[in-house]
Structure formats: C-alpha cells, structure tokens
Amino acid sequence: MTEFLEELRAALGAEHVLTGDDALRYGRDWMGHYIGHPLAVARPASTAGVAACVTLAARAGVAVVPIGGNTGLVGGTMTEGGLLVSLERMNRIREIRLDARLVIAEAGVVLQKIHEAAEDLGLYFPLWFGARGSAMLGGALSTNAGGSNVLRYGSTRGLCLGLEVVLADGRVLNLMSELHKDNSGYDLKQLFIGAEGTLGIITAAVMKLVPAPRAHATAVVAARALPQALALLNRMQEATGGRVEAFELMPADYARRLAEVRPDLGQPFAEIPGVTILIEAATTSEDEARPGPDGAVPLVTKLEEVLGAMLEEGLIGDAVIATSEASRRAIWARREAAAEICQGLAPYVDTDICLPVDRVDRFLTAAAARLDALDPGARTITVGHLGDGNLHFSVYPTREGLEQAVMETVEDLVAELGGSFSAEHGIGLSKLPSMRRRKDPVALDVMRAVKAALDPGGRMNPGKVIP
C-alpha cells in the first residue's frame, strides 16, 4: 500500500493524506459505537480531487468510504483498512440563485452554513434537525435525512434538484440540474440519495430554498391522547392552509428523562402529561405576520383559537404558546436535546421507525404490552416526528442479551402495522440484520443488481446497506 499512499500524497498534498494516529478520530463515530481503523484519510478539496482518490483506490483495489460530519447513528462510515474520503474541505457554497430560490453547494458544507447564507437573503433552507451545526450536506443526502420540517417541505430527497457524483471508476456524473421537471429517462440522482455512498460519492448538489417565514406560531400542548393530538394537527392545517411545519411528539418517558438529564431546560407543565406535542406553523404572508392594533400576530391568533376550542372540548389538557423568540427557542431546546438525553443508558436498542400516522398510538400501546411480557421493567424513551409518523423508539432492557429479542419484537409490530424499520437514519451496519429479515427479497435482488452495475468491484462503502 506504500505506493498507493504516495500516489495519494502526490495528488492531494502530503498534509491532506492522514495515517496512523492522525487518522484515528475519523475512524470513530461520534457516539463511540463504531471504532474502525482506516488505511488512510484523504481530504480532497475539489471534485477532481475526489475523482483522483477513487481512481487511485480502484487501481489499488482499496475500498472507499466517504465521510462528512460523522454524525450518523448506524455505522455508515465504519471501515477496517479502507480509504476514508473526507469531504470536509469541499465546503463551499458555489452559488445562491435568489430568483430561482436554489443553492448550489458542495457536499462538505455544514447545513447551518446554508441556513445562515439563505437567511441573509431572506430565504430559508428547510432541512432542519438537531445536528445541523455539524452535519454536512453530502451526509444528509446519502442518508435521505428527514428532520423536523418534513411535514411541510419533505425529506432531503424532496429538496434536491441535482447532484454531482464521483462513480466507482472515478468518472464524474454531472446531474447538476436546476430543473423542477426533466422527463428525459431515469431520474438517476434518486439512486444516489439514500445510498450511503455505496454507489458513488456525492460531491455537490442543487437544493431548493423557500421564502423565509415572517412569523411563527409555536406551542407545546398536553394532549389527552394521540388521536386527539392528530385532531389538533388536522384542525391547524385546515385553519392555516397547510402551514404547519413541525408536529413533534414527546411522551411522558421522554419528559421524565429530560428532567433527569437536563433539569435546566425546565418543563412546560406542572405535571408531566402522557402526551406532549410541539406544534409550529409558519407564514410568509405579511397579512398573517403583521401584528394588529392589540399586538396580536394573526397566525398566532389562529393557533390560540384552535387550542382554545380543543380545551373547551376536553381534547387537550393544557397549552403554552411561545410569546417571543426566546420562548420559542426554549420550547425547541427541549426537543433538540433528544440525542443528548438518550446517551448514558445501557444496554439499549435504538430504533428509527415509521408508521402510518393514525397507527402510532396502536404501536405505542402494543409495544408497551409486548415489551413488558418480554422483559418486565424495560425502559423506553420515545421522541418523534408525529406529523410524518417517524418515531425514535429507544428501549433499555433490564439486562444484556435481550437486545436481539427486543429488536425483533419491535420490528414484528412495525411490520404488522404497515410500517418501516428505517425512517431517516439510514442502514449502515446496524440495520443490516433488519434488511435481511424484513426487506422484500425481490427488492434486495434489484438493489444488488444496481450495486453490481455501478460498482462491479464492490469497493464503494462495502458491507453497508445491502446484506
């Protein structure tokens, strides 16, 4: 491998080919669950540099694993002896097109940088989740990340117009379309979104922007039960013409753990309710955002009216509406502490599931019963994007050795209810057993055929996604 590493150094500069101790931090995921030992870490600064890395690796028969912000949860960047290609130096926003409402950015751009650049122009990049300060665009695309605003704007896939991808043989596939419609054959970019680098390395993308909201209406609500919570979502959607952006679920198990780990964030209600909902609507309409003579913002007034009616009907028990940007941020801080508060407990089983929205209640009720039968005393911590049916359902068994049985119990129930075992975190290594058990065999055959066609040597992030 000495010759290969020397060729890499010649292509990128010696300081951008890390080995030994310098490469160790890249081999460890941020949760500390996966610790690998890469042959080297290459840090190209351009698409041509990425292509050079992949071409040299192909010649040497070395596996190639792309890495961005390394905020993943499923071992997607784990490698033993492969070449990690870090996109961190490909961190330029190439262009923002104000009239077209799009941004052209490289894969190593941290999402928050796009948020800030868009905001400076009165626009908004609606891919929004807790790790936005470290997660990079390429990683979000490679896992088809969701986040809190999927309800209104869709996942990463729905926000992407075009891609630039380096293929397994080093060729650059230019799919950097700025078109909203193009029916000229297969939509090839969709192959690479969600593929976790197994088909090629995403180096840049064209992403949609939207007008920046002029006002938000945000509240935290104590619902009587999940069916009543969905009634709130539907009523608010009707009242605002579909302007609800986030509808987040924080059940009692989540609130209790939050109180344990982050008491400084406080609790919105004197007593922890069984179902806590964070609802947020936003408007770009000046009429809905301009305060009236009494200082009331019309969009906030609509939320107050909906909540008031539901209080009178006994469908919700209490509500706290944000009255300032500071109080809005305090509400969101409790939700975005999810990754932090779920750490430190073991053993654990972390699931990222999606269900039809009207079956989430059935899942939680049945899951509690089945887990109690399997392991009385097992703890759960649940948080999720209720508006799109995505739950992060973590189970903490009372003893080691039950993890597999817990996972299969959860997945059995999800399958019975027409759901998916993977919503937005990707497959990586940790969900390969689930793919093997749950994915349609014909679908797996098709995936293997696509993989073989684009990566016949099987060197692009090998051992991930496809069992």
Half-sphere exposure for 123 (CA within 13 Å, toward CB): 20
How far is it, in rounded angstroms, from Cα 251 to Cα 261?
16
Contact 421, 363 (CB under 8 A): no
* pLDDT higher than threshold 90 for residue 130: no
* pLDDT higher than threshold 90 for residue 236: yes
Domains 93-211 and 215-338 agree in fold: no
- Of 91, 112, 114, the residue nearest 101 (C-alpha): 114
Sign of the alpha-carbon torsion through 326, 331, 334, 338 = negative
113 pLDDT band, cuts 50/70/90, is: very high
pLDDT tens track for 140-184:
999 999 989 999 999 999 999 999 999 999 999 999 999 999 999
* pLDDT higher than threshold 90 for residue 83: yes
Alpha helix locations (H) across 13-122? 24-27, 47-60, 111-120
32 pLDDT band, cuts 50/70/90, is: confident
- Omega into 211 within 30° of 0, i.e. cis? no
How far is it, in rounded angstroms, from Cα 70 to Cα 213?
30
Please compute the mean of the pLDDT values over residues 37-45 and round it to a whole number.
97
* pLDDT higher than threshold 90 for residue 328: yes
CB atoms within 10 A of CB 309: 13
Q: What CA dihedral angle connects 210, 214, 217 and 218, to 10 degrees?
A: 70
pLDDT tens track for 46-62:
999 999 999 999 999 99
Element (H, E) at 18: strand 17-18
At 121, is the secondary structure helix, strand, or coil? coil
Contact 337, 233 (CB under 8 A): no
What token pair was written down for 20? 């030994």
Taking the domains of the chain in order of start, what are their residue ranges? 2-86, 93-211, 215-338, 344-432
71 pLDDT band, cuts 50/70/90, is: confident
Measured at the CA of 239, the angle between CA 237 and CA 240, to 5 degrees, comes to 65
How far is it, in rounded angstroms, from Cα 95 to Cα 114?
11
Contact 165, 404 (CB under 8 A): no
Please compute the mean of the pLDDT values over residues 244-262 and round it to a whole number.
97
CB atoms within 10 A of CB 237: 18
How far is it, in rounded angstroms, from Cα 397 to Cα 347?
6
What token pair was written down for 102? 């799009």
Share of the chain above pLDDT 90, in %: 94
* pLDDT higher than threshold 90 for residue 344: no
Instruction: Return the CATH number of the domain spanning residue range 93-211.
Output: 3.30.465.10
Please compute the mean of the pLDDT values over residues 212-234 and round it to a whole number.
96
pLDDT attached to residue 334: 97
* pLDDT higher than threshold 90 for residue 105: yes
Amino acid at 301: T
pLDDT tens track for 262-310:
999 999 999 999 999 999 999 999 999 999 999 899 999 999 999 999 9
How far is it, in rounded angstroms, from Cα 355 to Cα 393?
12
What token pair was written down for 289? 């955002």
Question: 345 - beta bridge partners?
Answer: none
pLDDT attached to residue 3: 96
- Give the fold, CATH level 3, of 2-86: 3.30.43
* pLDDT higher than threshold 90 for residue 135: yes
pLDDT attached to residue 263: 97
* pLDDT higher than threshold 90 for residue 121: yes
* pLDDT higher than threshold 90 for residue 227: yes
- Of 115, 111, 118, the residue nearest 97 (C-alpha): 118
What token pair was written down for 379? 């703890």
What token pair was written down for 439? 């994915």
Contacts 24+ apart (CB under 8 A), 69-72: 69/110, 69/131, 69/134, 69/135, 69/136, 69/139, 70/26, 70/29, 70/30, 70/139, 71/30, 71/131, 71/134, 71/135, 71/139, 72/29, 72/30, 72/139, 72/143, 72/425, 72/426, 72/428
Antiparallel, parallel or unpaired: β 215-223 and 316-321: antiparallel
Please compute the mean of the pLDDT values over residues 19-25 and round it to a whole number.
93
Q: What are the phi and psi torsion angles at 156 (to 5°)?
A: -55, -40
pLDDT tens track for 444-455:
999 999 999 999
pLDDT tens track for 353-375:
999 999 999 999 999 999 999 99
pLDDT attached to residue 140: 96
pLDDT attached to residue 33: 82
- Of 192, 156, 80, 66, the residue nearest 451 (C-alpha): 192
Contact 138, 87 (CB under 8 A): yes
Residue whose tokens read 């390395």: 201
Is the CATH code 3.30.70.2740 the one for domain 344-432?
A: yes
Amino acid at 428: G
73 pLDDT band, cuts 50/70/90, is: confident
What token pair was written down for 5? 């590493």
Strand (E) positions, 38-124?
A: 40-42, 64-67, 83-86, 93-97, 102-106, 123-124
* pLDDT higher than threshold 90 for residue 1: no
Question: 251 - beta bridge partners?
Answer: 275
* pLDDT higher than threshold 90 for residue 92: yes
Instruction: Return the CATH number of the domain spanning residue range 215-338.
Output: 3.30.70.2190
* pLDDT higher than threshold 90 for residue 435: yes
* pLDDT higher than threshold 90 for residue 129: no
Share of the chain above pLDDT 70, in %: 100
How far is it, in rounded angstroms, from Cα 11 to Cα 123?
38
Lowest mean pLDDT among 25-29, 163-167, 274-278, 318-322: 25-29
